[in-house]
Chains A and B, each alone.
Chain A
């Protein structure tokens, strides 16, 4: 299926990329691996006149770890590179696990961390061809006014479906954004808006350049659990990232939980805070797992039902916490 017409710019530096973005404004869109954007352009979800291809920004393709400064990952790093990184495997296992579950090996070879963090929100009524959407008169997110999963709702319930974001949120990551006006760094969790339509707390001319994980998050135990029907290729139907730091007696010093694919944004589960300083207790785990469901508000945006996705959030949180708490150091 051919793509509609557009021009492509291929900057070699962040600076020239920003210039291009400034010059073309709303006509332009950035593309990196293209794994999310190209199929969406084919479906007519986006009609850019100019694509700014960021793959030439080799300066943003790196994984650096320094025990003092923490972990820094360039936005152009491929998901495969994350999955293959020994540093991640040993010191940031939650991110390593999450990266390994993204889509398929082929797509991981192309998709980038920046792209995975900025994934468009997804919904069965939105990720369809122009013909399909046109036959229904569009939806609130594109070419229409009605949300078909929640008629009467004035917001869009399309879900954020990235795997690396919850892992990074559970590592307290921050993200660096640059624009022609300068740069800013925000907690990754704050990059997202819990609305499928607006979705990102980011200006159109801002580019995600670097993700930073504080040194304090290194060596936390962590795990990522993903619900899907097909064990490859699929986006998550629900996902849970859990990290934990324990003392020598096995008591929990700190724990963090983040959810994906059950809300328009990846969300922290605040109930994880109550585990700080606690010894393992099954009831405690169950309580947090139950609380996690309150954060998850999926509607019928994907192949699975909201009931099952919520159930799986609870099971995943329980299992992940139990695993991290009871096994290993």
Chain B
């Protein structure tokens, strides 16, 4: 085995700091080490395991969360750097027991097969529909292009998002729709 440099071997005397995270409308005070990633804080410290880890080179998007409404990858985020942000994870998408139209869309149209990309995919789609309620196929494709799925070929994910749009429109009062 290669010998590591002293700097690598030596563990710094790290103080855990109290970090306040605003997640799904709740504030959590956690004692975290400075190198703690948001992904780890969510999964391990808060047991919010809906956020997934699929790769180690930040290419797959399974760890997507919404940061102030915008999808970002929690595997790249130092938790303590996001104390001012409103973070939404997949656990915060449903309104109590009422599922979000996107969640229902993914269920009825087979948008979730193995389900591992689903949380990230739904959160990214949520941002898309918030900023563009009737996207074209190309716009949808662009918006979801950072979330890899290995099961659906994306076809059923598109159908699921379309279904969600339909469900959202049904939910709206008719006068607002026109």
- Residue B78, interface by CB 8 Å: yes
Task: State whether A39 touches B7 (Cβ < 8 A).
Answer: no
- Residue A2, interface by CB 8 Å: yes
- Residue B176, interface by CB 8 Å: no
| Chain B contacts for A6, CB-based, 8 A | 12, 34-35
**A4 CA / B73 CA spacing, docked (Å):** 19
| Chain B contacts for A4, CB-based, 8 A | 8, 35
Task: State whether B81 touches A35 (Cβ < 8 A).
Answer: no
- Residue A281, interface by CB 8 Å: no
- Interface bits A1-29 vs B (CB < 8 Å: 1, else 0): 11111111010000000000000000000
**A10 CA / B1 CA spacing, docked (Å):** 36
| Chain A contacts for B59, CB-based, 8 A | 104, 233
| Chain A contacts for B132, CB-based, 8 A | none
CB distance from A124 to the nearest CB of B (A): 13
CB distance from A47 to the nearest CB of B (A): 5
Chain A residue nearest to B70 in the complex (CB)? A109
CB distance from A241 to the nearest CB of B (A): 21
Task: State whether B61 touches A110 (Cβ < 8 A).
Answer: no
Task: State whether B40 touches A2 (Cβ < 8 A).
Answer: yes
Task: State whether A35 touches B142 (Cβ < 8 A).
Answer: no
| Chain A contacts for B27, CB-based, 8 A | none
- Residue B111, interface by CB 8 Å: no
Chain B residue nearest to A49 in the complex (CB)? B12
| Chain A contacts for B51, CB-based, 8 A | none
CB distance from A290 to the nearest CB of B (A): 34
Task: State whether B58 touches A39 (Cβ < 8 A).
Answer: yes
Q: Which of A79-127 contact B (CB under 8 A)?
A: 80, 103-107, 109-110
Task: State whether B71 touches A106 (Cβ < 8 A).
Answer: yes
Size class of the contact patch on chain B: 35 or more
**A1 CA / B60 CA spacing, docked (Å):** 14
| Chain B contacts for A51, CB-based, 8 A | 34, 78
Task: State whether A103 touches B146 (Cβ < 8 A).
Answer: yes
Task: State whether A47 touches B76 (Cβ < 8 A).
Answer: no
- Interface bits B48-75 vs A (CB < 8 Å: 1, else 0): 0000010011110100100100111101
Give the total of A residues in contact with B, Cβ under 8 Å. 36
CB distance from B153 to the nearest CB of A (A): 15
**A107 CA / B8 CA spacing, docked (Å):** 28
- Residue B14, interface by CB 8 Å: yes
**A5 CA / B34 CA spacing, docked (Å):** 8
Task: State whether B81 touches A106 (Cβ < 8 A).
Answer: no
- Residue B2, interface by CB 8 Å: yes
Chain B residue nearest to A5 in the complex (CB)? B12
- Residue B129, interface by CB 8 Å: no
CB distance from B139 to the nearest CB of A (A): 11
**A233 CA / B61 CA spacing, docked (Å):** 10
Chain B residue nearest to A34 in the complex (CB)? B76
Task: State whether B146 touches A110 (Cβ < 8 A).
Answer: no
Task: State whether B12 touches A109 (Cβ < 8 A).
Answer: no
**A39 CA / B60 CA spacing, docked (Å):** 13
Task: State whether B78 touches A34 (Cβ < 8 A).
Answer: yes
**A127 CA / B171 CA spacing, docked (Å):** 49
| Chain B contacts for A109, CB-based, 8 A | 67, 70-72
Task: State whether A107 touches B12 (Cβ < 8 A).
Answer: no
**A34 CA / B164 CA spacing, docked (Å):** 33
CB distance from B97 to the nearest CB of A (A): 29
Task: State whether B40 touches A106 (Cβ < 8 A).
Answer: no
CB distance from A304 to the nearest CB of B (A): 18
**A5 CA / B72 CA spacing, docked (Å):** 23
**A231 CA / B40 CA spacing, docked (Å):** 29
- Residue B77, interface by CB 8 Å: yes
Task: State whether B71 touches A3 (Cβ < 8 A).
Answer: no
Task: State whether A106 touches B2 (Cβ < 8 A).
Answer: no
- Residue A150, interface by CB 8 Å: no
- Residue B165, interface by CB 8 Å: no
CB distance from A129 to the nearest CB of B (A): 8
CB distance from B134 to the nearest CB of A (A): 18
CB distance from A122 to the nearest CB of B (A): 12
- B-contacting residues of A (Cβ < 8 Å)? 1-8, 10, 31, 33-35, 38-39, 42-44, 47, 49, 51, 53, 55, 80, 103-107, 109-110, 134, 143, 231-233
Provide 23 A-B residue pairs closer than 8 Å at the C-beta atoms, listed in order of the A residue.
Answer: A3-B37, A4-B35, A5-B11, A5-B12, A5-B14, A5-B35, A8-B34, A34-B78, A39-B58, A39-B76, A42-B57, A43-B57, A47-B8, A49-B7, A53-B81, A80-B70, A104-B145, A106-B61, A106-B71, A107-B73, A110-B76, A232-B145, A233-B145
